Amino acid sequence: MHGPSLPDREPDQEVDIEWTDRARQMGARLRQARLRVGLTQEQVGLRAGISRNHIHLLETGRSSPTLEGNPRIRMIYKLAAALNVPPVELLPADAGVVPATLSSTERKQRSP
């Protein structure tokens, strides 16, 4: 089952919009977990081996697939370990949903 497409947008724009929403959701979840355990951004960064500024970028959703702030799986596990929470707790609620569209780069990579 595919999610609804956004009208009058190119596929790459849809992926960017979906990423922005997910980045904000993940950032909010990261911040909630951090505050729940009573740690500062700096403390989480030290525990996870990530700069305080990077934690800030993640929490505010100002990362994107093309920026260094893009959280990789390894980073999500490091953050989860630093907060003593399961990694899934940091992911957006719809993390298991695959976007209906692919970026032009992904389309090129998948074509024979």
Question: DSSP assignment of the chain, as one string?
Answer: -PPPPPTT--HHHHHHHHHHHHHHHHHHHHHHHHHHHT--HHHHHHHHT--HHHHHHHHTT---TTSTTPPPHHHHHHHHHHHTS-GGGGS-TTTTPPPSS--HHHHHHH--
For residue range 15-71, what is the model confidence (pLDDT) as tens digits? 455 677 778 888 999 999 999 999 999 999 999 998 999 899 889 988 654 555 566
Question: Residue 98 sits in which domain range?
Answer: 20-110
Looking at the domain assignment, is residue 14 inside a domain? no
At residue 30, the pLDDT reads 93
Q: Which two tokens stand for residue 66?
A: 């093309």
Looking at the domain assignment, is residue 1 inside a domain? no
CATH of residue 69: 1.10.260.40
Number of domains, the chain: 1
